Amino acid sequence: MTSGRAFGCAVAALVSLALAACKADSCDPALVDVAVTFMKEHQSCVVNEDCVVVPDFCGTLPHGDCGQLVMNREGNASAKWADITKELTECAPDECTVCGAALEPHCSNGSCNGP
């Protein structure tokens, strides 16, 4: 009986690990809306160096270019963006194709994404 009990415990442990490793199939649309709104509110810039590249979380956020988006440095450095990024990382796909193109962030007419 002991070996059967050990086997049952091993199976239970494996199931627990598998469930803990699972991620949501996709991010909550409300979270995506919060992220998109935050990014729209953080586009202002004066010079190109004010703009930085951020991930689109494997296409979770719309309008990415090769897995990349642009926002201003101030927004990227904020605690709120760090929280949003953490949540998106937890629900976005683990793997995605990101092309080799490097998005060059630039400031155009006072906006990191241009007019």
Q: Does some domain include residue 99?
A: no
Where does the chain have alpha helices with state H?
Answer: 2-21, 29-41, 73-76, 79-91
Q: Which domain holds residue 68?
A: 26-91
Residue 2 counted as domain residue: no
The answer to whether residue 69 sits within a structural domain is: yes
Q: How many domains does the chain have?
A: 1
Neighbours of 95 (CB within 10 A): 6
Query: Sorting pLDDT into bands at 50, 70 and 90, what band is 65?
Result: confident
User: What average pLDDT does range 74-90 have in this prediction?
Assistant: 97
The pTM assigned to this predicted structure is: 0.74
Report if residue 11 sits inside a domain.
no
Q: What is the pLDDT of residues 23-35, one digit of tens each?
A: 445 899 999 999 9
For residue 57, give the nearest of 22, 20, 28 by alpha carbon.
Answer: 28
